[in-house]
Amino acid sequence: MAIPTAVTPVAEIFELRWKVLRPGLPEETAVFPEDSAPGTFHIAAYDGSRAVRACVTFFPEPLPGSGGRTPAHRFRGMASDPSVRGRGFGRAVLAAGIAEARSRGAGAVWCHGRTGARGFYEREGFTVVGEEFEIEGVGPHVVLTRALGDGAD
């Protein structure tokens, strides 16, 4: 059975984002400057009771080092409730976000992914670009990119 997803207001995904990505830190650390910027959208994945179990935020931003040649969307704040990890919620929310970004003209998507999630992103067709780097208070990350094809991916 397919996991339901939807474009949703940031308020609907915020609690999950904060609890999973910024545990023990003040709520404001989970507020992103892009949350209300033009072109930003938020995706939620739901369980059978309509509880948000995964989320992600996408926004237009050129690929690093591309000179803006390829229209791209960056995503951040991707989180899955620990109680449903490994059950497809992360994959569902990412796929829905990629489809929405493509419909808005993106030719690529990218993120600063936690190194612990690198394998997940690589299984989803992403490639690491450059070296690992540290985001203070959050941990080691890498830049991951994925070109978007004709809609078959």
Q: Is residue 152 part of a domain?
A: no
* Coil, helix or strand at residue 30: helix
Q: Is residue 85 part of a domain?
A: yes
* Coil, helix or strand at residue 85: coil
Q: Is residue 46 part of a domain?
A: yes
Q: Is residue 153 part of a domain?
A: no
Domains held by the chain: number: 1
Q: Which domain holds residue 94?
A: 5-147
Point out the least confidently predicted range of 42-56, 61-75, 82-96, 115-129: 61-75
CATH code for position 27: 3.40.630.30
The residues, any chain, with a CB within 8 Å of residue 117's CB and separated by 6 or more, are: 78
Q: Is the pLDDT of residue 87 over 90?
A: yes
CA 117 to chain centre: 11
Query: Can you give the pTM of this predicted structure?
Result: 0.91
